Structure 1
Amino acid sequence: MADILKETPLKAVQVEALVVMKLIKHSSQAFPTTATGSLVGMDVNGTLQITNSFPFPTVDVPATDGHQQDTASNLAAAAPRAKANVAYQNEMIKFLREVNVDANNVGWYMSTSMGNFINANTIENQFFYQKEPNERTIALVHDVGRSSQGSLSLRAFRLSPAFMIAYKEAKFTTENLQKSGLRYQDILVELPLTIHNSHLLTSLLHQLPSDAPREELDFPPNLSALQQDPNTPQPPLFPNFDSLDLSIDPFLEKTCDLLLESIENHHTELNNHQYYQRSLGREQAKITAWQQKRKAENAARAAAKQPLLPEDEWQRLFKLPQEPSRLEILLNSRQVEQYARQVDGFTATASAKMFAVKSNLLPGE
């Protein structure tokens, strides 16, 4: 039975509402530092049920450090794979098992802002949890910036099997990427996520007492209104001037800044690879000239009936430059795609407003 469950791929993620509240509270308290923690639950027929969570201990950074916030954020981002936190996680799971709570580790969670989570720390943490054969773990990402707009941003990710093989070999060269066909879209696999409430909690929510209305109730205007859900908001009959506001969303500005920063990092990595190609070309030209010279010397020595010189001596005299890893370029490309999707979502309403007032903005037309 266990083998059958291991062979069943993960299809969805189900998170308990208690876990969501814990995660939001921890992320809000730790902001702007990255918040990380462990997830426990169980796998039921391809659905990973997350029933509990607990945060990792925070690391105090000396106040004398000039980059205190950056150092604390880096330490928090690397917390899931730290040796001390691994021992802490095992001890917590042992205590949970003693009180008859789900004690199977099913991954880890982290907080982010404006979708800035595709980096080396995230990949290393998920690989640390997912590297064991048939390990059914996920990375739960909570975006504090997007959630502050009123809609919860919670996503579940796993590393793709192709990327797991490539990352285990640690060979992200151009030749290996061409052979494997690995692209930046193949790094992460997103799983559908649902939030679950127990029947007992649902009953409690329906039975919560509310204060009696002190004002006179509004009677329905017609019979069809009696069949409508009273909790469904009705569109206002008066003009809503908030929808005419032409100011650019501050989250859109921040996302565009992060997008430009990722593109600059991408160009920096491309320049490093181009420098490697130029260095490799220069060294190969030197090797070719040396080989031709050695062949001419051996031809002259053969005519004079002298012993020939070794022609593979260039391996000791010349050293080819090491090709830089292409992993950072893949991660930057995936992060640029993430920002582009966010910009597309932010500009949906702004573009409609700008198009509506185009004639006023361009008086010459």
Structure 2
Amino acid sequence: MAEFIPQTGMRSFAQAAASEEVAAPLRVVQIDGLVVLKIIKHCKECMPALVTGQLLGLDIGSVLEVTNCFPFPSRGTEEEDEADADGANYQLEMMRCLREVNIDNNTVGWYQSTYMGSFQTVELIDTFMNYQENIRRCVCIIYDPVRSGQGVLAMKALKLQESFMDLYKNQEFTGEKLREKNLTWVDIFEEIPVKISNSTLVSAIMTELETDSPVTQGDYDRLALSTNPFIEKNLEFLIECMDDLSGEQQRFQYYYRNLQRQQTQQQTWLQKRRADNLARKAAGEEPLPEEDPSNSIFKPIIEPSRLDSYLIVNQVANYCDQIKGFSGQSFCRLYLMDAVHEN
């Protein structure tokens, strides 16, 4: 997982903006075409391993411009502490080199690859919190090479919701706090629209390189009907998530059963104590306290965190969206190919 390394020396533009109150909310993430190609190349070359990298650019008003990026080195078989130190030195050296050649070196987030959209994890949230200690409006670009191989650019920009960040800092994911903040599972991540931009010179070159043929090999690839492996894998992951969600529900049922049992024991003990106090008053003795902290039945039962449940539900929704979108495209391809065969 990516780790943010604060820049030394001159304070970055993004960090300066983070220390001030930002009036305009983040509306769009504008990514240069070259950055998109570098992310795709890094993620595809390292498959099936998952990789991460740094995003560099500028935070201007409601637009976050991503103008450059570089990959993080893989850890390999090194020790964790040694790998973290090497990664930090690598990031600082890369930023220093970019600054020397007058390239944007302000950190605005990171990118990471995912497999079949499986990115709703606590590790992703921890990385966001690590970054947002220094950069308030950082984003994470999620790229799925497997999904992109089906004819769709599976790239999205995510950020954490402000309301969720406040709860996560205090680890207050109890039912009472969630109801108080009116926070549901859809309020964890916020997806920011992604806009890919190219300079006028690049657009002119691409126009010159464009062939006269109205149909390219990429157009034919979009008509591929081999959809079974992708849908089957999504369904397998969906079933695993449903099993995990069922386990979380059983954990909460166990908690509520214990809570109800404890409340029953407390009421029984309290009734007995009140009866004893009535007898002591009749005998002219001092009544005993109606609460006994040393008694095990008065020890509070810690409510399990609902964060894992929220993340699993988020992941289930993501798999369902992927299956729905891919199935709709498959039907369009089938109808199109049927019409082609008829003609």
Contact 1:38 1:56 in 2 (8 A): yes
Query: Once the two structures are superposed, what CA deviation does each residue of 1:10-47 show, in whole Å capped at 9, x if it has no partner?
Result: 11011112211221121122222211111110022311
1:325 aligns with 2:305: yes
| Alignment TM-score, normalising by the size of structure 1 | 0.77
**2:277 is matched with which residue: 298, 301, 323?**
298
Counterpart residue type for residue 256 of structure 1: L
Q: Which residue of structure 2 lines up, in the alignment, with residue 272 of structure 1? A: 251
Given the alignment of the two structures, is residue 200 of structure 1 paired with residue 180 of structure 2, yes or no? no
1: distance between equivalents of 2:200 and 2:160? 33
CA distance in 1, matches of 2:315, 2:187: 13
- Give the residue type in structure 1 aligned to 2:312: N
Q: Which residue of 2 aligns with 1:256?
A: 235
Call closer, same or farther: CA 1:49–1:354 in 2, change over 3 Å: closer
Q: Counterpart of 2:13?
A: none
Alignment of 1:1-365 (within 5 A): 6-61=22-77, 85-86=87-88, 88-132=90-134, 135-207=136-208, 232-233=214-215, 249-314=228-293, 316-318=295-297, 319-350=299-330
| Structure exhibiting the larger radius of gyration computed from Cα positions | 1
| Residues 283 and 320 in structure 1, CA contact (< 8 A), matched pair in contact too | no
Look up the SS of the partner of 2:325 in the other structure: helix
Task: Measure, in 1, the Cα distance between the counterparts of 2:85 and 2:309.
Answer: 29
TM-score, length basis structure 2: 0.81
| Identical-pair percentage | 37
Q: Distance in 1 between matches of 2:289 and 2:234?
A: 60
Contact residue 159 and residue 187 of structure 1 kept, 8 A: yes
Contact kept, 8 Å, 1:39 with 1:53, in 2: the verdict is yes
Instruction: Report if the CA contact (8 A) 1:163-1:187 is conserved.
Output: yes
Flag the 1:61–1:179 CA change in 2: closer, same or farther, 3 A: same
Alpha-carbon displacement from aligned partner over 1:103-122 (angstroms, at most 9, x marks no partner): 11100110012111111111
Q: How far apart in 2 are the matches of 1:201 and 1:346?
A: 32
Given residue 271 of structure 1, which amino acid in structure 2 is its aligned partner?
A: Q
AA aligned opposite 2:277? N
Contact 1:114/1:146 (8 A) holds in 2: yes
Deviation, 1:315, is 5.5
Cα drift, residue 183 of structure 1: 0.9
Decide whether the 8 Å contact of 1:156 with 1:192 is kept in 2: yes
**Matching residue's letter, 2:278:** A
> How well do the aligned residues superpose, as a CA RMSD in angstroms?
3.1
What SS does the aligned partner of 2:22 have? helix
Alpha carbons of 1:248 and 1:4: their partners in 2 closer, same or farther (altered >3 Å)? closer
Question: Which stretch of structure 1 is more off in the superposition, 102-111 or 115-124?
Answer: 115-124
Unaligned runs of 5+ in 1: 63-71, 211-229, 235-239, 357-365
Cα deviation, residue 179, structure 1: 1.0
Q: CA deviation at 1:308?
A: 2.3
